[in-house]
Structure formats: C-alpha cells, structure tokens
A and B are shown apart, each in its own frame.
Chain A
C-alpha cells in the first residue's frame, strides 16, 4: 500500500487560506468516506483535526474544514494563524481492515 500523495509544503500569510490535497486511489480515498487529518507540531504527537472526511472533533476551530472529490481529499485552513504552523497528515481506510497515511505536508505561516 503506497502512501497517499500530499504536497511537500504549502505556505500562506496570516489571515489567508491554504488547502492541502491528499491524493489516493479508487481503492482507498475514492472508495470510502473515511479520511481523517492530523496536525503535528514539531516534536509533538499528532492531533486529530478532521475525521470522516469533513467532521470536526470538539475543540478544533471551525477554521479547519475537510472535503473530498473523487480520489482526492482536501484540508482547508481558513484565516491562517501562526499556531497553525505544523506538519499535516491525511489517513484513509483502504479496505480489508487496512489503512494508509499520507506523505505529509509542512504548513508555513509567512
């Protein structure tokens, strides 16, 4: 199972919006609405930001939103803030009780 494809890095100025893509296949992202996103600040454990494509856990700001079209899922951060600077990973169910992570994207706030 190959890792889902994410851009290596994205950047934006405070207040802007950035979108991170996560491209899989028809066997994983394209076949299930079970995509989640994790934020990982440097040296820290990942934190769940979005699950089931577009659901937000309690406590996650509504600046974070998720969507999916075909084999590509996306995480959008609106109103970018300095504290959003981190690595972001997508994760998808791939069938037969297996899963796959994305390759990871570094978000830089300019």
Chain B
C-alpha cells in the first residue's frame, strides 16, 4: 500500500530554515494527487501548512505563506517543505499526507510524523 515517510533534522536553530522531505512509496507522485504538510505543536491541535501537485502548483495557509515554500521532485518520488525564519513556536510534529481521490478534499494517507524542535 502507499506509504509516506518524513525525514530531516530534528533540531533547527532559531531564525534558520526548517527543511523536511516526504518520500512516497508504492505510488508514483507523477501519476497525480495533491500532497500536503500538516503540523502539530506539542500538546496542541493540528495546523494545515499547505499542499502541492506534481506539476508544482502550490497552495499555502495564509498564516504561514510568507515563510513557506514547497517543492516536488518526481525523479526521487519526494516532496519537500521549507519553513524560513523559524522560532520556538514552530516546534511541532510535522506530518506529510496525501489528499484522497474523488473530491480530493481530505487526507487519506499520513506519514508517521517527525518532531522538529527549534532551539539554540
């Protein structure tokens, strides 16, 4: 079945850039679907970050738009998240996920998540 796996540094210094990659297994990103990022600060709720199509079209949460860039690498079957100028408030578990078929307005497959801590 389709699997997603987040990877990247678990510790990022304040003001630097958080960079994460999501590797997709058992499905070719080139074939379609939208792919997204969601985060969850410790003990808090889920926050949508944004999503991307295999063509590179991106859609970001307005609250993070000025600091977020997403990209897709179809040759590696991966998509990535860059979050600039991070602060302690960006400490969270970051999930990658796939938008489902049909209406395409829900996440049907999730990665296990990766904890990223922002600290000097």
Contacts and interface: CB of A to CB of B under 8 A. Distances in A.
B107 A103 contact: no
A45 to B, nearest CB: 4
Contacts of A104: 45-46
Interface of A: 1, 3, 32, 34, 36, 38, 40, 45-48, 51-52, 57, 89, 91, 93, 97-104
Contacts of A40: 46
A38 B108 CA distance: 10
22 contacts: A1-B62, A1-B63, A3-B45, A34-B106, A36-B105, A38-B107, A45-B112, A46-B38, A46-B46, A46-B95, A48-B108, A51-B102, A51-B105, A52-B102, A52-B103, A57-B100, A89-B45, A91-B107, A98-B59, A101-B45, A101-B46, A104-B45
Nearest to A33: B103
Interface string B103-120: 101111011110000000
State which size class the interface on B falls in. Answer: 20 to 34
Given A52-B105, A98-B59, A101-B46, A45 B110 contact: yes
A91 B110 contact: no
Contacts of B15: none
Nearest to A101: B46
Given A1-B62, A98-B59, A98-B62, A48 B106 contact: yes
Contact of B61 (A48, A52, A98): A98
Contacts of A93: 105
**Which among A38, A40, A45, A57 has the greatest number of chain B C-beta atoms within 10 A?**
A45
Contacts of B113: 45
